[in-house]
């Protein structure tokens, strides 16, 4: 098998295809190499020792890697997060994997595809929805390890002790049969966003998705730093998913057309296009986006993307390493738990990757009546595969590329930016709330619902 160039876009193991092509296999033909902590230079030397041309994200301004410019590189180092994207012969990678504990190389994994996550079917509403291209229902992702638990053990014990009383209190809480969305979306109301005195002002929020509609009238005058990691495509959103998720996390306080749908309306938006206009992308693009967000000091990184995993499947080492390094730098990754379940027919799937990593906060979805969404995945796998929080994820109104302007979508993708936006509010409230501390604050202030802990984690995210 020949090497797949880093400059190629979505490609199969055997042939290069256009950047907006739909993958026909689970892997790209490239590899993700994770190196041991502090061993970046040694890892680069090891890769060079196999005859590979090595480049680094440090070669690009603000680490905004242009994959199209990497025509001569065989390996791209992402030093902020401790991984590299490598194109090499499989036998070279086998040799690299067998170097042993003395090697700077921790692991070698095949590069896989990930997808924008939206629920399988649209939710009908009485209010007419504007016409727009359909957002595809696609796969989810997986990862694992046990880092954040070190921080959470103390609160875990107390939480488990109080679960019965918390569930009883939640059961007594009123259930909303209908929401008045003339001024505010039901998701903002359910998470207490309007009552918050914070706006996310000055907090960098990275949304890694299909890009953003940079001409959307609701975002005129906003601070938006946008870059694309998809070869041959700009950061402009040709899909719609990214504009919707970014709108929930960072949308305006007073949009031209009500209701208000955005949480952190004064945040600094960092838009990383890591999925193409067809809604799919590679691990390399996503990891390069994470590296960029960390290099730019984004305390909140929102990822409504992933792939499905099997019961018992471990989390990806590369994503766990990246997320752990991000936490150590004060950057919290919040990711969608996935939409592979169909609870109405008895099908419940595990949290997908990369949300299944211990150092990534996994977000499930609830509906307007505070019930777990039919599609939302569950805590099944160990070592990070638990749902940590839930957010509003059904019939969510937010921004969408022009000319549609707005659209209602459902999915754990829609729940995730609610959590990310609220994380930005807490981050504004104190410079101490970064990384693991921000994770713990989000969980400590969540509202327990009358649904199983394996579905809701610590509960429904709440602003304060």
User: In degrees rounded to 5, what are phi and psi of residue 134?
Assistant: -65, 140
Render the burial of 351-376: b for 16+ CB within 10 Å, e for the rest. Answer: bbbbbbbbbbbbbbbbbbebbbbbbb
Instruction: Name the active-site residue from 241, 244, 399, 418.
Output: 241
- Whether 237 is catalytic is no
Instruction: Name the active-site residue from 11, 63, 376, 413.
Output: 413
- The two structure tokens encoding residue 378: 């569950």
Task: Estimate to the nearest angstrom the gap between the alpha carbon of 216 and the chain centroid.
Answer: 22
Burial of 327 (0-12, 13-18, 19+ CB in 10 A): buried
- Whether 141 is catalytic is no
- pLDDT of the residue at 345: 97
Euclidean distance between the first and final Cα of the chain, in Å? Answer: 55
- pLDDT of the residue at 143: 34
- The two structure tokens encoding residue 380: 């099944």
From the first residue on, what is the mean pLDDT of each consecutive set of 10 residues in the chain (464 residues)? 56 40 76 94 92 95 94 94 92 69 89 86 38 33 35 34 35 56 98 98 98 97 97 97 98 97 98 97 98 98 97 97 98 98 97 98 98 98 96 98 97 98 98 98 98 98 94
Q: Which residues contact 161 (CB under 8 A, 6 or more apart)?
A: none
Instruction: Name the active-site residue from 74, 139, 209, 218.
Output: 209
| Distance of alpha carbon 327 from alpha carbon 332, whole angstroms | 6
Tokens 């061993």 label which residue?
39
- pLDDT of the residue at 20: 60
> With the C-alpha atoms ordered 310, 314, 316, 320, is the resulting torsion angle positive or negative?
positive
What is the model's pTM? 0.86
Q: Which residues contact 270 (CB under 8 A, 6 or more apart)?
A: 204, 205, 206, 207, 225, 226, 292, 293, 296, 298
- The two structure tokens encoding residue 10: 């979505």
- Whether 241 is catalytic is yes
Q: What is the DSSP letter of 232?
A: T
* Beta strands 268-273; 204-209: pairing state: parallel
- pLDDT of the residue at 72: 86
Domains and CATH numbers, the chain: 27-111 (3.30.70), 149-456 (3.40.50.200)
| Distance of alpha carbon 155 from alpha carbon 457, whole angstroms | 13
Q: What is the DSSP letter of 212?
A: B
Task: Estimate to the nearest angstrom the gap between the alpha carbon of 102 and the chain centroid.
Answer: 33
- The two structure tokens encoding residue 327: 């936490």
| Distance of alpha carbon 92 from alpha carbon 86, whole angstroms | 11
């Amino acid at each position: 098998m020949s090497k797949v160039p880093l400059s190629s876009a979505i490609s199969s193991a055997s042939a290069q295809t256009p950047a907006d092509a739909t993958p026909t296999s689970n892997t790209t033909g490239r590899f993700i190499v994770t190196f041991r902590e502090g061993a970046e230079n040694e890892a680069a030397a090891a890769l060079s020792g196999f005859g590979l041309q090595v480049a680094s994200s440090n070669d690009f301004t603000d680490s905004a890697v242009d994959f199209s410019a990497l025509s001569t590189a065989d390996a791209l180092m992402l030093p902020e997060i401790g991984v590299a994207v490598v194109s090499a012969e499989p036998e070279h990678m086998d040799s690299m994997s067998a170097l042993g504990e003395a090697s700077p190389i921790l692991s070698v994994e095949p590069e896989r595809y990930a997808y924008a996550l939206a629920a399988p079917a649209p939710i009908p509403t009485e209010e007419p929805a504007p016409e727009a291209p359909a957002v595809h229902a696609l796969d989810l992702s997986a990862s694992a390890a046990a880092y954040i638990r070190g921080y959470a053990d103390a609160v875990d014990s107390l939480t488990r002790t109080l679960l019965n009383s918390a569930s009883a209190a939640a059961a007594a809480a009123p259930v909303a049969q209908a929401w008045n969305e003339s001024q505010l979306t039901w998701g903002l109301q359910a998470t207490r966003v309007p009552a918050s005195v914070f706006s996310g002002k000055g907090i960098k929020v990275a949304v890694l998705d299909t890009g953003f509609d940079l001409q959307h009238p609701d975002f005129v005058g906003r601070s938006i730093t946008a870059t694309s990691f998809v070869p041959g495509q700009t950061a402009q959103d040709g899909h719609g998913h990214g504009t919707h998720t970014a709108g929930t996390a960072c949308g305006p306080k007073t949009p031209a057309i009500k209701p208000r749908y955005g949480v952190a309306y004064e945040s600094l938006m960092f838009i990383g296009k890591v999925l193409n206009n067809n809604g799919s992308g590679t691990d390399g693009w996503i990891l390069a986006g994470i590296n960029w967000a960390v290099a730019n000091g984004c305390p909140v990184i929102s990822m409504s993307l992933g792939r499905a995993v099997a019961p018992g499947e471990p989390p990806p080492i590369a994503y766990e390493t990246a997320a752990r390094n991000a936490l150590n730098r004060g950057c919290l990754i919040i990711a969608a738990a996935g939409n592979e379940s169909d609870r109405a027919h008895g099908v419940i799937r595990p949290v997908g990757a990369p949300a299944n990593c211990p150092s990534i906060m996994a977000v499930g979805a609830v509906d307007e009546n505070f019930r777990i969404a039919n599609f939302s995945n569950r805590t099944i796998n160990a070592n990070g595969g638990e749902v940590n929080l839930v957010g509003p994820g059904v019939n969510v109104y937010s921004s969408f590329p022009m000319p549609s302007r707005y659209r209602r979508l459902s999915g754990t993708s829609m729940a995730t930016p609610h959590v990310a936006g609220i994380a930005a509010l807490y981050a504004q409230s104190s410079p101490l709330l970064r990384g693991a501390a921000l994770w713990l604050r989000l969980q400590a202030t969540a509202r327990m619902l009358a649904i199983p802990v394996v579905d809701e984690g610590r509960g429904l995210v709440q602003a304060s």
